[in-house]
Amino acid sequence: MPLATVNGIPLNYQLKGDKAKGTDVKGAAPLVVLVMGTGSPGRVWELHQVPALLQAGFRVCTFDNRGIAPSFEAADGITIEELVADTAALIEFLDEGPALVAGTSMGARVTQELALARPELVRKAVFMAGHARLDRFQQTLGIGEAELDDSGVRLPAKYEAAMTAVMNLSPATLANPAAARDWLDLFEFTGGPVPPGVRAQRRMSHDFNRVQAYRGIRVPCLSIGFADDRMIPAYLSREVADAIPGARYQEIADAGHFGYLERPDLVNKLLIDFFGGLEGSTIA
């Protein structure tokens, strides 16, 4: 990925088009900007969403939020306003806006705030596991996670993998022996010490309520909730759609917080249909 200096920091990004479709040239197709959630690099989108969007004829930009090396790690702290400004500056740097923007979890919140603060940069917006606030459980979990980071305590790898699976995957996924094995192996392999930038992302404020503010969003929006999401329960994602005038809500069954990885075909169809302006599509 190339590095760009935007909003005063280095930001690691990747811009792709499909040469066979002629979308590898600037301005040849609508640009989709994908905003990742807490602790994860932008390349996670490459597993499922980027190939589907390219096949559908879009250009796609993924990037590492501040906090994720080699982007600026911001170990001393990160605010939502900084993340929003980074994303806005990247869209301006690419000079292909207004963009179609989608985010998940923390990235959904960035997308929501971007749609409110810089609507001229956002053609349409999709929020996966979006939220305008956190309930008491999420607040307590976030504070506890930050305290665990600061303590220096290292959880046993298998226990950490199991807890990551329980918090981020659907019981339907974990009931499948092969899928459960693969996910647990992945979490065990990728666990370990938390980098300073990720700790900074985790320490972001958990005490906010933007329900009333989001009534001012005017760009077309789709909020996607994952029915088995323990990190951001689906009712919080529905609440976002209810707050935004004209916004749509779609809930995906048998999907946890990582629903875009567990049920990518459904997520991709929703993205492509909404960004492409298709009406009347149904999701099984």
Catalytic residues: 105, 229, 257
Return the beta strands (E) in the chain as ranges. Answer: 3-6, 9-16, 31-35, 59-63, 99-104, 122-128, 221-226, 248-252
Please name the residues in contact with 190: beta carbons below 8 A apart, sequence gap of 6 or more.
none
SS3 237: helix
8-state DSSP, 195: P
How far is C-alpha 146 from the chain's CA centre?
20
Residue 29: alpha-carbon gap to chain centroid: 22
Q: Which residue blocks in 121-176 are alpha helix, DSSP H?
A: 136-151, 157-168, 171-174
Distance CA 158, CA 45 (A): 26
Is the distance from CB of 4 to CB of 93 less than 8 angstroms?
A: yes
The answer to whether 198 and 67 have CB atoms below 8 angstroms apart is: yes
**Alpha carbons 113 and 210: distance in angstroms, whole number:** 9
Q: How far apart are CA 62 and CA 195, in angstroms?
A: 21
DSSP tag of 78: -
Strand partners, 13: 63
